[in-house]
Amino acid sequence: MPFFFDPTYLIFAVPAMLFALWAQFQVQSAFNKWSQVANMRRLNGFDVARVLMRNEGLDHVGVETIPGMLTDHYDPSSKVIRLSQGSLQPSVAAMAIVAHELGHAAQDKEGYAWLRVRSGIVGFANIGSQLGTWLFFIGMLLSAAGGRGFGFQLAVVGVILFSAAVAFTLVTLPVEFNASARAREMLQRAGLVTVQEAEGVNAVLNAAALTYVAAAAQAIAQLLYFVTVLMRRRE
């Protein structure tokens, strides 16, 4: 969101937005392609989950369904992976997604450091992404209206809070990349993928990783814009 439609905002926002759109296109393309390719054993998402959980000592993890498409996730508080409709099919794409979510379950089981860090800052990140943005713009408005000292300080607080959201997107990257690496290893150990299927698994996982990189790029771009505005106002 630009401040008074500042054209400078476009310099930061547009490249990150285009990257995010491209990343989303890659995810949809990879998922659409490989969701049409059945895996060799005709295992649906639940079947894949059962095989991998038994192989990896993750029998304590629950499996539930969730509405939507590509809404799959692992809930560390409930020790449950939630699978969307597309991940319940006997496809290569579903196999990749289920394995990825179980990769997070494996991280949780062993106390993977980056996952613990992400879980520890998620509350601050949620507050920072909303409250930080509001405080920044309110501070800028107050500064423009004459309350220069207080308004500027309030905007700085907003930027600091928003930085927690940026940190969350950065910490998410090693968590997601590691979960994908674990997914590939788990599928190979279980003997669930052929060479051709491994290509599809990699395509789906790599495309999904791009979305997390794009989210980090957008957050960083917005933070840089905030800092640029603050520096100009200070001058």
- Tell me the catalytic residues: 101
The DSSP output letter for 131 is: I
Q: Work out the burial of residue 128: count CB atoms within 10 Å of its CB; fewer than 13 is exposed, 13-18 middle, 19 or more buried.
A: buried
d(CA 180, CA 170): 16
d(CA 64, CA 8): 45
What is the secondary structure of 215-230 as a DSSP string?
Answer: HHHHHHHHHHHHHHHH
Give, in order, the Cα–Cα distances in Å from 28 to each of 64, 65, 91, 174: 23, 20, 15, 22
d(CA 100, CA 49): 10
